[in-house]
Each structure stands twice: as structure tokens, then as C-alpha cells.
Amino acid sequence: MARAPRVVVVSPPKAGTHLIKELMLALGYGLQGEVKTSPDERMTLDEDASWNLVSQVYDHEELLRMRVTEDPERFARLTDVARTAVMWAWLHRLGVPLASRYPHETMLSELVQKTLWRTATGTFSDTPPNTCWFVHEMDLAQVYGKFIHEWRTGGEPRILFLHRDPRDSLLSMVRFLTDTRPEGIGKLVRFGLYSDILHSLTHLDEQIAYALEDEQFPGLSELRSSRWLAAHPAVCRVSFEELIGPDGGGTLDLQEAAVKRVVAFLGAEADPATLAKSLFNRASFTFRDGRSGAWRAAFSEAAVRAFDRRHGHLLDLLGYERR
């Protein structure tokens, strides 16, 4: 099986995105989408890929000017703009609620709208190769039907679904949103909103009680809308508890087995034992504790019962014990 040229990772917030990110970087993929990246972690484009990208964004006159002027610096700038426009266009098609999730209007710009129009007849395979896209959810009510058809009939892109014990995810999100460290909570609009709500509650018990009852609370909301991925046979499932390894309270055997499963699914050639050593990165922006099972010490008996009542079906689906 040839190495997958394009990968989509669906990772609900606080499921351990930093772990799968490190794995995809170690496998040589550039990153795109809903994941914090540095410039050197993004996809690298050769000349052919760059021209293919700009042709999806700019009109004929602009493309002609690029070829006539032969200004490498200008071409590089326009390619970066095109990369961003294509990213927003495809995040929209992948069902990401851009307008409500992000505070700026980049995704609503005229160039992005033109890109959506110009690429309407294209497929995901037209996007740059050797790229791993990250999204927090894949809601079938919002995803572009043509993408689903392309995936089902052609087997590409490969889709990875990362999950974590929802109780640990919820606790991690509560702690993240009430954190007072200088780097803050990021720029997602609703993160700020929920941070306000949680800070208005005095005790952790109250914060947890609110979070598990709110249908739109970050993390649980995305997990619910993406739960079909856990049941689809063409999706590769991998868990936080597997990837975290001995540094986070897991085991080396589980970690290496999970990495081996991902490597085989992507058709890559790499040593799982070597890759596993690169996953635990404390420098990640969203890293807080990096351990599994913390909910047991933080949840009151009332919270445990309430979670089982409202979200127990998610525990069953993902294979986590209710107690």
C-alpha cells in the first residue's frame, strides 16, 4: 500500500491533539487546519504544487502577471495567501463552523469566497499532497457531501479519529478554560465565553457540574457530532490512553502498538518504537497534565452519576468503563 498523500485527523478538543500532531510530523507530513503550527511545520510546496495551488485561487490575469514578472518573493507571498484561502475553503467543506468559531473575518474574505467558487468542481485530492489536515469534529450534517463520496469511493484521504475518556477531556477543558497562565486560552470565540462562565463559579465541583450539563460545552459537543467515526470500518481509531505512553501513565506496549497501527494504516515506512519516543511534548500550547484517569480524583459521586446518565453512551461506544 502506497503512503497516504493526504490525511485528515479528527481530534475533539482536549483529546490529545498534541500527541497525534507529533506523530504526523515525525512521519514527514506538513500540517494544516485546526492545529497550532509554526511555519516550519506547515506543508512544503514544490514549484508544481505551488502553481497548482495559486491556480485554484487567482484569476487568469493575476496568474499571467505571476508568470511574466518572475518575481520569486511576490510569488512566495501570493502562494502563502493562496494556501490560507484554500485552507479556509476546505475547512468550510469539512463542516467546520468557521463564522461562529473564529473571531476574525479571514474566512469570509472575497478571496476565500472566490476560492470556494473556483474549487467547487474539484476534489480534496486537488489539495497539496503530503499534508495532514486537523479538524476538531466531522459533523455529517455539515460536511460537504462530495468529500464524503470521494472518501467512500476512493479511500482517500485516510481519516484518523483520536479520542480520549470523555471525563478526562471534560476535566482537562475545565482546567484549560480556567487557567491563568500568560499564554491564555487561545482565540476561539466560545473558549472565551465558557471561560467567563466557569470563572463565575467558585468551586471545581460547580464547574464540572455545569460543563457536563451544557450540550455545547467544548469537547463533548465535538465528540457527539463525530461519534460515527468510532463505528466506521474505514476510519483508524486511536486513543489518548494508547498514545500517551509511560510518560503519561500509559504503557510502552500500548503506545508502540497504536503507533504501529497508524503507520500501517497510512502505508508509511517507519519504526514504531522510534516514533513513539517523539510523542510526549510538554512544550505543546494546550498541554496541561498529560495523564489519564485524573477524573477519578476530581469528580464527585454526583458528577459521576450525572455523567453516566447524560453521556454514558459515549463511554460505551468508545470502550471506557462507566466506573
Is the pLDDT assigned to residue 211 strictly greater than 90? yes
Is the pLDDT assigned to residue 287 strictly greater than 60? no
Cell of 223: 465528540
Q: Is residue 175 within 8 Å of 181, Cβ to Cβ?
A: no
Q: How far apart are CA 106 and CA 241, in angstroms?
A: 36
Bridge partners of 161?
10, 237
Neighbours of 307 (CB within 10 A): 24
Model pTM score: 0.93
From residue 89, give the alpha-carbon distance in Å to each of 35, 97, 124, 233, 260: 16, 12, 11, 28, 33
Query: Interhelix angle for 204-213 vs 189-199, to 10°?
Result: 130
Assign 162 to helix, strand or coil.
strand
Q: What is the mean pLDDT of residues 121-144?
A: 96
Going from N- to C-terminal start, the domains of the chain cover: 6-164+236-276, 167-223+291-318
Is the pLDDT assigned to residue 159 strictly greater than 60? yes
Q: How far apart are CA 193 and CA 100, in angstroms?
A: 12
Q: Is residue 219 within 8 Å of 13, Cβ to Cβ?
A: yes
Q: How confident is the model at residue 285, as a pLDDT?
A: 44
Q: What is the pLDDT of residues 37-74, one digit of tens each?
A: 998 998 888 889 999 999 999 988 888 888 877 788 88
Is the pLDDT assigned to residue 207 strictly greater than 70? yes
Range scoring the smallest mean pLDDT among 29-33, 75-79, 160-164:
75-79
Q: Is residue 30 within 8 Å of 132, Cβ to Cβ?
A: yes
